[in-house]
Amino acid sequence: MSLFEAKNVTKQFGSFTALDNVSISVPEQCIYGLLGPNGAGKTTLIRIINQITGPDSGELLLNGQKLTPSDVTTIGYLPEERGLYKKMKVGEQALYFAQLKGLTKAEAMKRLRYWFRKLDIVDWWGKKVEELSKGMQQKVQFITTVLHEPKLIIFDEPFTGFDPVNANIIKNEILFLRERGATIIFSTHNMSSVEELCDNITLIDKGKTILEGSVDQIRSQWAANEFDLVFNGDVKIAENGLYKILNHQFENNKSTIRLKTAGESVTNEILSTVMKSGEIISFNPALPSMNEIFIRVVESRN
């Protein structure tokens, strides 16, 4: 069942088409990656979901019902450009945002105490935002995004500015939110985060949807007839009619060569050909990373 759907959404700014008939369907209680290069249309779609701007055409549904202004209270949004007031104290600001989302002061204080302890920022309650490091500021904004326990949470580049330790803490919190029932749209350029966190993705380029599905399904589809061939030592092989060479790496006295074959039926023939070049350690099907898939798909359109 889909918690959120965008159907055939189009948005133009003058003669520029930011979104061209884009559709996404976000299953309930999943982490959904919204991917694409800069200028692809991701931020425009996110702004439409948050009703900051409206589509020229198309339909947006939340729980099967048309999205309305009142639904904003059931959505949490962490924008890429952070929006904390620098001169305001951290605790006062967090309480203010919580009450804007409809929480009573008592309930907001209870939840804030829980999250400030959990993310280890209790000591910063009375400090001004400008006194915090960028990472600490982002922890505060993360809390204000999830505090009202929204059904749909949108994270736009949530790890920007975090060191690896704190990025891992936030990753774990995102997974925790999903376990508790949240549905999450996750927009990022970090493809390793996509593989770690996302169940499904949509890739948008130049305003159009060009790839969508589950992460596992997409990686399997793009792995068709691709193999990793590992040699002992520095070995090079030439392309022929049986395969193309997609990548070649030499590391730790091993050569790893990714091949795109003409079909699985030719693997024995390939092996008998390449074994003349050196000592083969392994020859296995290869699952391309989401980063490799992203680059191949986008480059094929340019």
3-state helix/strand/coil string of the chain: CEEEEEEEEEEEECCEEEEEEEEEEEECCCEEEEECCCCCCHHHHHHHHCCCCCCCEEEEEECCEECCHHHHHHEEEECCCCCCCCCCEHHHHHHHHHHHCCCCHHHHHHHHHHHHHHCCCHHHCCCEHHHCCHHHHHHHHHHHHHCCCCCEEEEECCCCCCCHHHHHHHHHHHHHHHHCCCEEEEECCCHHHHHHHCCEEEEEECCEEEEEEEHHHHHHHHCCCEEEEEEECCCCCCCECCEEEEEEEEECCEEEEEEEECCHHHHHHHHHHHCCCCCEEEEEECCCCHHHHHHHHHHHCC
Q: Is residue 89 part of a domain?
A: yes
**pTM, full prediction:** 0.83
Residue 134: pLDDT band (50, 70, 90) is confident
Residues 153/185, Cβ–Cβ less than 8 Å: yes
Sign of the alpha-carbon dihedral angle for 130, 133, 136, 141: positive
* 260 and 195 together in one domain: no
* 75 and 147 together in one domain: yes
**Mean pLDDT taken over the chain:** 92
Q: Is residue 291 part of a domain?
A: no
* 22 and 143 together in one domain: yes
Q: What domain range is 246 assigned to?
A: 224-286
* 203 and 234 together in one domain: no
Q: Is residue 300 part of a domain?
A: no
Residues 64/92, Cβ–Cβ less than 8 Å: no
Q: Is residue 156 part of a domain?
A: yes
* 249 and 269 together in one domain: yes
Q: Is residue 177 part of a domain?
A: yes
Q: Is residue 294 part of a domain?
A: no
Q: Is residue 232 part of a domain?
A: yes
* 36 and 158 together in one domain: yes
* 193 and 228 together in one domain: no
Domain boundary, last residue among 188, 214, 240: 214
CATH number for the domain spanning 57: value is: 3.40.50.300
* 55 and 110 together in one domain: yes
d(C-alpha 216, C-alpha 282), whole Å: 23
Instruction: Give 192's Cβ-side CA count (13 Å radius).
Output: 5
Domain boundary, last residue among 193, 214, 235: 214
Give the per-residue pLDDT at 73: 85
* 53 and 103 together in one domain: yes
Q: How many domains does the chain have?
A: 2
* 176 and 277 together in one domain: no
Phi-psi region of 169 (alpha: psi -120 to 50; beta: other; left: phi over 0): alpha
The set of residues, in sequence order, having a beta carbon less than 8 Å from that of 203 and lying 6+ positions away, is: 35, 36, 209, 210, 211, 212, 294, 297, 298
Any idea of the CA torsion for 38, 44, 47, 48, to the nearest 10 degrees? -150
Domain boundary, last residue among 190, 214, 238: 214
Query: What tens digit of pLDDT does each residue of 190-232 get?
Result: 888 898 999 999 999 999 999 999 999 998 888 778 899 999 9
Query: What tens digit of pLDDT does each residue of 38-75 get?
Result: 888 999 999 999 999 999 999 999 999 999 988 988 99
> Which contacts of 64-68 are long-range, i.e. CB under 8 A and separated by 24 or more positions?
64/2
Give the per-residue pLDDT at 84: 86
The β-bridge partners of 230 are: 256, 282
Q: Which of 227, 134, 178 is nearest to 31 (CA)?
A: 178
Q: Is residue 29 part of a domain?
A: yes
Query: What tens digit of pLDDT does each residue of 245-285 get?
Result: 999 999 999 999 999 998 777 889 999 999 999 999 999 88
* 142 and 267 together in one domain: no
| Stretch 145-152: mean pLDDT | 95
* 139 and 233 together in one domain: no
Find the radius of gyration of the CA atoms of the chain.
23
